[in-house]
Homo-oligomer: A and B are copies of this chain.
Amino acid sequence: MIETMGEKAIQEIKQLLQLSESMEQVVNPYEVSAKDGGKIDYDKIVEKFGCKRVDQSLIDRVHRLTSRDPHVFLRRGVFFAHRDFNEILDSFERGDKFYLYTGRGPSSEALHLGHLIPFMFTKYLQEAFKVPVVIQLTDDEKFMWSKTLKVEDTKRLARENIKDIIACGFDVEKTFIFSNIEHAGTFYENTLKIGKCVTVNKANAIFGFAGEDPVGKMGFPPVQAAPSFASSFQHLFLGKDNNLRCLIPCAIDQDPYFRMTRDVAPRLDYSKSALIESKFLPSLKAMNGKMSASNPNSAIYVTDTTKDIKKKVNSAFSGGKDNSTEQENAGADLEVDIPFKYLSFFLDDDAELEHIKKEYGEGRMLSGPVKQRLTEVLTEVVEKHRKARAAVTDEMVNAFMAVRPLPKMFD
Contact = CB atoms under 8 A, between A and B. Distances in A.
Contacts of A2: 224, 253-254, 257
A223 B138 contact: yes
Nearest to A179: B401
Contact of A98 (B224, B233, B246): B246
A91 interface: yes
A291 B112 contact: yes
Q: Which 3 A-B pairs have the closest CB atoms?
A: A14-B208, A195-B216, A11-B207
Interface residues of A, number: 210
A365 interface: no
Contacts of A368: none
A88 B42 contact: no
Contact of A207 (B15, B91, B166, B218): B15
A84 B274 contact: yes
A180 interface: yes
Interface string A69-99: 0001101111111111101100100001111
A176 B233 contact: yes
A173 B289 CA distance: 39
Given A125-B249, A401-B182, A281 B113 contact: yes
22 contacts: A4-B251, A5-B293, A6-B292, A10-B209, A12-B253, A12-B257, A31-B290, A78-B278, A99-B244, A110-B301, A110-B302, A112-B300, A112-B301, A113-B302, A134-B233, A162-B401, A167-B391, A169-B388, A176-B233, A183-B187, A188-B188, A200-B212
A114 interface: yes
Contact of A88 (B138, B169, B207, B274): B274
The number of times this chain is found in the oligomer is 2
B5 A290 contact: yes
A21 B352 CA distance: 40
Nearest to A386: B167
B195 A219 contact: yes
A121 interface: yes
A101 B228 CA distance: 7
A269 interface: no
Given A280-B40, A288-B40, A292-B6, A134 B236 contact: yes
B406 A275 contact: no
A87 B72 CA distance: 67
Given A136-B227, A174-B406, A335-B39, A80 B278 contact: yes
Contacts of A320: none
A292 B277 CA distance: 55
A200 B344 CA distance: 46
B244 A98 contact: yes
A194 B215 CA distance: 9
Interface in A297-354: 299-303, 335-336, 344-348, 350
Contacts of A279: 40, 42, 77-80
A195 B195 CA distance: 15
B166 A396 contact: yes
Contacts of A29: 253
Interface string A197-212: 1111111101111111
Interface in A207-243: 207-224, 227-228, 230, 233, 236-237, 241
A68 interface: no
Interface string A97-118: 1111111000101111110111
Interface in A1-58: 1-2, 4-7, 9-16, 19, 27, 29-34, 37-40, 42, 45, 49, 51, 54
Contacts of A174: 406, 408-411
